[in-house]
Amino acid sequence: MEACSSSHYRARELTKLGHDLRLIPAMYVKPYVKRGKSDAIDAEAICEAVTRPTMRFATIKSGAQQAVPFLHHAQDLIIRQRTQLSNMLRGLLAEFGITLARGGGHAIKFAKSVADGTQPDLHEAAQDVVVNLSHQLVALHLGVGWYDRRIALETRNDPRVYLLRTSPGIGPVTASAIVATAGSAKQFRNGREFAAWLGLIPLNRSGGGKERLGRNSKMGDRYVRRLLVAGMTARVVQMKRKPERADPWAEDLLARKPFRPVTVAMATKAARIAWALLTKNERYQSRAV
pTM over cut 0.75: yes
pLDDT average, residue stretch 103-127: 85
The per-residue pLDDT for range 259-284, each reduced to its tens digit, is 888 898 899 999 999 999 999 888 88
3-state secondary structure the chain: CECCCCHHHHHHHHHHCCCCCCEECHHHHHHHCCCCCCHHHHHHHHHHHCCCCCCCCECCCCHHHHHHHHHHHHHHHHHHHHHHHHHHHHHHHHCCCCCCCCCHHHHHHHHHHHHCCCCCCCCHHHHHHHHHHHHHHHHHHHHHHHHHHHHHHHHCCCHHHHHHHCCCCCCHHHHHHHHHHHCCCCCCCCHHHHHHHCCCCEEECCECCECCEEEECCCCCHHHHHHHHHHHHHHHHHHHHCHHHCCHHHHHHHHHCCHHHHHHHHHHHHHHHHHHHHHHCCCCCCCCC
> pLDDT (tens digit, 9 = 90+) per residue, 208-245?
777 777 777 777 778 899 999 999 999 888 888 887 77
Q: Residue 275 has what pLDDT?
A: 92
* Between 277 and 154, residue with greater pLDDT: 277
